[in-house]
């Protein structure tokens, strides 16, 4: 069965070279350097052979958010470099990389809109990637509204990747750098917060059919379905002085929980069958996309792919549902023909 | 079948009166005032009748963490008032309230140890409640170690309730007060962070059998099983400059994911069948406790109880497993005789 990996990460060589210059050897780069399948396409292609000819990857840029690497002006050139070099990979290896997702210089919203237009119309990108915050500003900030409006108008998806919050502060306690909590738990928290802000700021009222792909299968949302329903949707405002949120609850045409079900969710849960089942039950097979998070696994590439395929093959779903999850859904979202 | 609700909240009248004095009419109290089943025991008892004679509640104090209401000295008297008045309810209504869990003045660690001893030995408390942080200090701070050591020595459980972090800051973006995100998502994040800090600071190495009951069924952990396993347990340190965490990973005798399975988890998921199934698959029927989070539901008392019973009755488990979840496990943890 054809399998199109909807969220795999890449650092095209020209972009990675520039990123290394800009980072000045920052220690955080070590992680990327130690993963050749991320920035060496030959290694990547060899690694993919394990999964046969019917395995493909949609390319998204793996990078810290561009605005952490460069100021608003340099960010424009960086996004362009990323997009042109991802296109190059797609053109050179179309059997492996059927499409790419544009990077945007979000810290410069006007330039982000210009790059969105050029990347989709000029380079053929089939969607855009945003991070859950832009230098600490949430995505429901009015500065970013035009990106969402435009992607809804174009009927193409937005891939949403988590990023640490402003100033790397810790919500909970003194220091989320402790034990890498920022990565394991902070990122899913970030994704969930971004989803909530979209729901409650009325994104799905403005754009009922907007296509937002959430990484890590909706993060905290499916497991907390009850809390989000009876706890939050039906009691919003009860924990706040003032009437603002109680009024918002009355004003929302649908129960907020139902808006949370309108996101799309990828299966990048690092090979957990129980999580995948829960997420699928929450979103439904129409909105779940096979994705591996390749190459950030202990083997540096193939392990999450292998484990995710194992989980999906063992899921109790119909063959038609499994096909949707493996490739129909993502191709439909990108408005590309389904390859049987 | 006997059902002992392992996590329900109460504000005994004398404590609530004192809390209102100390709060000076703070707006946040509105939430508590609007829930008579929380502070009026007659309302509470009438509400419980819906569930028949075989429904009981273990009492835990519902309150902001005591240190948010009072300084370290006043906190001592407040905890004592809470514990004595919870005991009074248990003595007066033993068929409804088989046990209570002691509140502790954690901002004053010496006094917390003294109150722990008095509440258990003098008042008969069957465990203690802690919050996920103490005025922003995490629970793996050495100041609190003696509480954990002592509860392990006594072989009695610690109920862990989420609380907002220091200064109510937001991990993710500008303001977690927005849309009550702090409650819906911030609390489960807090619980998960506290669990992680216990695991990685070696709590289960020091005390392999310590009994920690996590609210909301382990919060983020079960759904992220794969991320915590292949992503975190097996790659700890790879995202950090320096060798400290890579060394910690090598030094831990077991895979960190397996320590996460040693927590106990209550079913307070506000009536979600898919979440409950996922959590049960993660922790196993030996470690899951029926709990409702009563009375914080839209009906102000019975709804979470009713919805949680509905979910547990429909779970595909054996009768013996259902009995464990409904009451055997919690009674065993408290070392009380099981009432058939």
ipTM of the complex: 0.96
Give the N- to C-terminal CA distance of chain B in Å, as an integer.
8
**A33 CA to chain B: closest CA distance, Å?**
11
**Residue in chain A nearest B25 by alpha carbon:** A241
Mean pLDDT check: name the lowest of B117-126, B132-141, B147-156, B259-268. B132-141
Strands B288-289 and A3-10: unpaired
β-pair type (B264-266, B212-214):
parallel
Mind giving me the DSSP string for B60-122? Answer: EE-SS-HHHHS-HHHHHHHHHHHHHHHHHHHHH-TTT--EE-B---TTSHHHHHHHHHIIIII
CA distance A172 to B293: 22
Q: How far apart are CA A103 and CA B262, in angstroms?
A: 42
Task: Tell which residue, A1, A36, A3, has the closest CA to residue A300.
Answer: A36
Taking CB atoms and an 8 Å limit, are B183 and A232 in contact across chains?
A: yes
* Residues forming beta bridges with residue A129, ordered by sequence position: A159
Q: What is the DSSP secondary-structure string of A82-109?
A: HHHHHHHHHHH-TTT--EE-B---TTSH
Contact call for residues A126 and A86 (beta carbons, < 8 A): no
Q: Is A179 in Cβ contact with B245 (below 8 Å)?
A: yes
- Give which of B199, B219, B226 is closest to A220, Cα–Cα: B219
Q: Minimal Cα–Cα distance from A97 to chain B, Å?
A: 25
Give the pLDDT confidence score for residue B27 in this predicted structure: 61
For A231-286, how does the pLDDT look when each residue is reduced to its tens digit (9 = 90+)? 999 999 988 878 889 999 999 999 999 999 999 999 999 999 999 999 999 999 99
pLDDT tens digits in sequence order for chain A, 340 residues long: 999 999 999 999 999 999 888 877 666 677 888 899 999 999 999 999 999 999 999 999 997 888 878 888 889 999 999 999 999 999 999 999 999 999 999 999 999 999 999 999 999 999 999 999 998 889 999 999 999 999 999 999 999 999 886 433 334 344 567 899 989 998 999 999 999 999 999 999 999 999 999 999 999 999 999 999 999 999 999 888 788 899 999 999 999 999 999 999 999 999 999 999 999 999 999 999 999 999 999 999 999 999 999 999 999 999 999 999 999 999 999 999 986 5
Q: Which residues pair with A10 in a beta bridge?
A: A61
Selecting from A138, A222, A229 the residue whose C-beta is nearest the C-beta of B174 gives A138
Sheet holding A55-61, edge to edge: A3-10, A55-61, A99-100
Q: pLDDT band at B60, cuts 50/70/90? A: very high
Q: For the packed helices A273-283 and A302-314, what is the interaxial angle rounded to 10 degrees? A: 60
Q: Best mutation site among A231, A245, A276, A314 for testing chain B: the one with the most B CBs within 10 Å?
A: A231
Residue B31 — very low, low, confident or very high, per pLDDT cuts 50/70/90?
confident
Of B30, B165, B229, the CB nearest to A270: B229
Q: What is the pLDDT of residue A242?
A: 80
Residue B72: per-residue pLDDT: 83
Residues B234 and A199: their CA atoms lie apart, in Å, by: 35
Q: Do A230 and B307 touch (CB under 8 A)?
A: yes
**pLDDT at position B165, please?**
67
Pick the closest to residue A304 from B229, B239, B275 (CA basis): B229
Tokens representing residue B117 in the block: 């001893």
pLDDT of residue A170: 39
CB contact under 8 A, B178 and A171: no
Distance to chain B for A86, nearest Cα, Å: 25
**Could you tell me what percent of chain B has a pLDDT over 90?**
81
Give residue-wise pLDDT tens across range B94-145.
Answer: 999 999 999 999 999 999 999 999 999 999 999 999 999 998 889 999 999 9
Residue B23: what pLDDT? 77
How high is the mean pLDDT of chain B?
93
Pick among B218, B224, B295 to test the A interface (most A CBs inside 10 A): B224
- Residues of A in Cβ contact (< 8 Å) with B222: 223, 274-275
SS3 of A268, please? coil
Question: CA nearest B80: which of B56, B64, B51, B104?
Answer: B104
Residues A256, A257, A258, A263, Cα dihedral to 10°: 100
Distance CA A164, CA A167 (A): 8
What is d(CA A303, CA A296) in angstroms, rounded to the nearest whole number? 9
Mutation pick from B142, B223, B244, B281 vs chain A, by most beta carbons of A within 10 Å, is B223
For an interface test with B, give the residue of A132, A166, A179 to mutate (most B CBs within 10 A).
Answer: A179
Neighboring chain B residues of A269 at a CB cutoff of 8 Å? 223-227
Q: Could you tell me the strand order of the sheet in which B3-10 lies?
A: B3-10, B55-61, B99-100
How many cross-chain Cβ pairs, A to B, lie less than 8 Å apart? 260
pLDDT digits (tens, 9 = 90+) for B171-207: 434 456 789 998 999 899 999 999 999 999 999 999 9
What is A3-221+263-334's CATH superfamily? Answer: Metal-dependent hydrolases (3.20.20.140)
Task: Give dist(CA A189, CA A181) in Å, integer.
Answer: 11
**Residue range B65-88: mean pLDDT, rounded:** 91
Q: Which two structure tokens, joined as six digits, stand for B152?
A: 């392990």
Q: Which of B138, B172, B224 sits opposite A275 (nearest CB)?
A: B224
According to the model, what pLDDT value does residue A21 have?
87
User: What is the rounded CA–CA span in Å between residue B212 and residue B205?
Assistant: 14
Smallest CA–CA distance, residue A42 to chain B, in Å, is: 23
List CB contacts (< 8 A) between B275 and chain A: 222-226, 278
The predicted pLDDT at position B68 comes to 79
Q: For residue A96, give how far its alpha carbon lies from the nearest alpha carbon of chain B (Å).
A: 25
Of A329-333, B11-15, B168-172, least confident by mean pLDDT is B168-172
pLDDT at A177: 77
Q: How far is CA B102 from the centre of its chain?
A: 12
Q: Could you tell me how many residues make up chain A?
A: 340
CA-atom Rg of chain B in angstroms: 19
Contact between B227 and A176 using a beta-carbon 8 Å cutoff: no
Would you give the distance in Å from CA A286 to the centre of its chain?
17
Nearest to B173 among A133, A178, A279 (CB): A133
How many other CB atoms are there within 10 angstroms of residue B118's CB atom?
A: 16
Q: Do A245 and B180 touch (CB under 8 A)?
A: yes
Q: Where are the domains of chain B?
A: 3-221+263-334
């Amino acid at each position: 069965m054809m399998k199109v990996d909807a969220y795999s990460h890449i650092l095209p060589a020209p972009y990675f070279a520039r990123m290394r210059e800009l980072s000045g050897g920052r220690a955080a780069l070590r992680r990327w350097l130690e993963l050749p399948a991320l920035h060496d396409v030959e290694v990547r292609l060899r690694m993919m052979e394990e999964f046969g000819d019917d395995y493909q990857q949609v390319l998204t840029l793996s990078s810290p958010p561009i605005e952490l690497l460069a100021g608003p002006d340099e960010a424009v050139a960086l996004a362009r470099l990323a997009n042109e070099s991802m296109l190059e990979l797609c053109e050179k290896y179309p059997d492996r990389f059927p499409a790419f997702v544009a990077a945007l210089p979000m810290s410069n919203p006007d330039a982000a809109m210009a790059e969105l237009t050029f990347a989709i119309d000029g380079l053929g990108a089939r969607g855009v990637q945003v991070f859950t915050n832009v230098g600490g500003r949430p995505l429901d900030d009015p500065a970013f509204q035009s990106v969402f409006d435009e992607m809804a108008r174009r009927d193409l998806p937005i891939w949403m990747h988590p990023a640490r919050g402003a100033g790397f502060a810790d919500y909970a306690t003194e220091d989320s750098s402790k034990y890498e909590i920022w990565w394991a738990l902070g990122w899913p928290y970030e994704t969930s917060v971004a989803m909530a802000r979209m729901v409650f700021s009325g994104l799905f009222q403005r754009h009922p059919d907007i296509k937002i792909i959430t990484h890590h299968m909706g993060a905290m949302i499916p497991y907390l379905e009850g809390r989000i329903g009876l706890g939050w949707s039906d009691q919003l405002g009860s924990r706040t002085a003032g009437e603002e949120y109680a009024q918002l609850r009355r004003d929302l045409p649908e129960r907020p929980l139902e808006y949370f079900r309108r996101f799309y969710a990828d299966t990048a849960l690092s090979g957990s069958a129980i999580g995948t089942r829960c997420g699928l039950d929450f979103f439904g097979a129409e909105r779940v996309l096979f994705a591996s998070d390749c190459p950030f696994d202990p083997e540096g590439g193939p392990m999450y792919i292998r484990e995710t395929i194992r989980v999906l093959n063992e899921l109790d779903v119909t063959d038609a549902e499994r096909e949707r999850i493996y490739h129909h859904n993502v191709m439909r979202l990108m408005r590309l023909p389904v390859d049987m």
